[in-house]
Amino acid sequence: MKNYPTPHINATPTDFAKTVLMPGDPLRAKFIAETFLENARLINSVRGINGYTGTYKGVPVSVMASGMGMPSMAIYSYELYNFFDVDNIIRIGSAGSINNDIKVRDLVIGMGACTNSNFAAQYGLGGTFAPICSYNLLKTCTDTAEQLGLAVKVGNLYSSDTFYDDSGATANWGKLGVMAVEMEAAALYMNAARANKNALAICTISDHILTGEATSAEERQNTFTDMMRLALETAVKL
């Protein structure tokens, strides 16, 4: 029995490129497709999760939203890797700095992704799994950032299950050098590891947990555009 369409993606493997960019927001996926891709076509809209495939500099690239949080990212990335023959997923999203050395509007790349999630329990490991990105994607991305003249910081992210953290413990992760908090990378990295596929998270610092600083709508748009361009330039080199 075929595994597609799924309850979440009404498409076939031929509809997707081998590399998929995944912002959290469906409208941002639409913006990327309309702004950067040539001949972009809508390939999925189930539950309002817009997915598009087009070309960037002649290379097929897809972009589809992941939704918010690890459960949502886990569903979409699992299906893309295992049912739709996608090889590479690059998350492009926002994050909140929890490190005094990481400033608002900085671009950060998750070499690893700590988490408070119990997502890894499904694997029955009897220990703690350390979710990490794919080295080839990381190296390609950092090399590309240098070529584009974009400053990036590489290190650990913290993937939290809670956006509103009642314990106030989020900032403690910064004491161990963790750069920023977001909500999807750890699940993406674990799904990629299990499927023997590739994953990378590139995030823009949109606010600072320690100082309360935040970007305006216009500033977020400009910074997000740099992140999108970095991800697209990386994608065409894979």
Q: Which residues are catalytic?
A: 207
Cβ–Cβ under 8 Å, residues 91 and 22: yes
Rounded Cα distance, 139 and 111, in Å: 10
Cβ–Cβ under 8 Å, residues 145 and 102: no
H or E segment and range at residue 74: helix 70-83
Pairing of strands 51-56, 59-64: antiparallel
Pairing of strands 38-44, 152-159: unpaired
Amino acid letter for position 130? A
